[in-house]
Each structure stands twice: as C-alpha cells, then as structure tokens.
Amino acid sequence: MLGLDYHHNAYAFWNKFEIDKVSSYSVPDKLYSFPNNGFASISLFLTGSEGYAFEIKEALNKYFFTNMKTLGNELGYEISSWDHQKVAATIFSKAMVDIHFLALIHLINCRIGIFDGKMWKYYGTWNHWGKNVLTFLVVFNNGMYCPVLSLKD
C-alpha cells in the first residue's frame, strides 16, 4: 500500500504519546517538537523517522492519480480531467492537502484528526470515539503540521 517496511523506531515514537482517549472536546496539549510538511508526520507515525516523507508523498500522489475522480467527489470537487486545477495543486504541493489525507485513510485503515487552533477536521470514521482504530492527530499551523503527543479536555 504505502510500500514501507516495518520499523521498530515507530514503537519508540508512539511511546512518547500520553493519549488514553480522544473526544470531540479534546484539544492538543503537548506537541512533537518539529513542525513539518505533514508527509513527515505520517512518516513519524509509521516508521519513527521523518525519513520516509518522500515515499509517502509519492504513494499518496499515485493513489490520488489513479482515483482522482472518486477522491475528488468525496471532498466535493468535480475532478473529471487531468487538467483540473486541484490535480496539479495536489501533486505538486509541498505539504499535505485534504486529498492526501483522504487517500491515506483509503490506503490504510486509519482515521486522522487535524486541529487548526480552533476546531478539528476529521478524516475516516469517527462515529465510535472509543474504538481502537489507528488514529493520527496533528496540529496544522502556518502551513505546517505537528503530531499531537497529548490532549486535554
């Protein structure tokens, strides 16, 4: 799917988390120290290193390229041809955009919460808050993403 091998360092990264549960009232408390382009955040979650950001970007762009109409429809974009402005904006984006997050939840069974300082934007299935599903939480600020290590209500 993403073409990544198992990395033991991912366990070390996840060990930094102090999150027992997530609710719609939760807000980020502690963040990972280094904001990044989003692809590096996903790389951290999956491998414990930011070093696979390029591979993740390529895999998500490839998935988007072959499923652009479906993904576009899910987000309310009518992408019917390769020359649609959203295609170039997604493929050439230096940071993750909405279509990349949607592609990720299609490629792996996960859900993603992005906090923009005021509210959460959710990708994936969130109707069962306590359900054990691979969950990525990030803060989006000034065009950069940062993994959330702890939450407060």
DSSP output for 85-113:
HHHHHHHT-SS--HHHHHHHHHHSSEEEE
* Token reading at 62: 């490839």
Count of residues for the chain?
153
- 72 φ, ψ (degrees, to nearest 5): -60, -45
Taken in order 142, 145, 147, 150, is the CA torsion positive or negative? positive
129 band by pLDDT with thresholds 50, 70 and 90: low
Q: Across residues 105-129, what is the average pLDDT?
A: 90
Residues 6+ apart with CB under 8 A from 116: 139, 140, 141
Higher pLDDT, 131 or 9: 9
- 49 φ, ψ (degrees, to nearest 5): -140, 150
- Taking each continuous run of H as one helix and of E as one strand, the counts in the chain are 6, 6
Dump pLDDT digits (tens) for 72-99: 888 887 777 666 777 888 889 999 999 9
* Domains of the chain as residue ranges with CATH: 9-15+24-152 (3.90.70.80)
* Token reading at 131: 């359900």
112 pLDDT above the threshold of 80: yes
123 band by pLDDT with thresholds 50, 70 and 90: very high
* Contact in structure between 150 and 19 (CB atoms under 8 Å): yes
* Average pLDDT taken over every residue of the chain: 89
| Sequence letter at residue 61 | N
Interior angle at CA 88, CA 40 and CA 113, nearest 5: 40
* Residue 11 CA from chain centroid, whole number: 18
pTM over 0.85: yes
Best CA proximity match to 103, nearest among 120, 121, 90, 85 = 90
Residue 83 is predicted with a pLDDT of 67
Q: How far apart are CA 127 and CA 145, in angstroms?
A: 24
Residue 60 is predicted with a pLDDT of 95
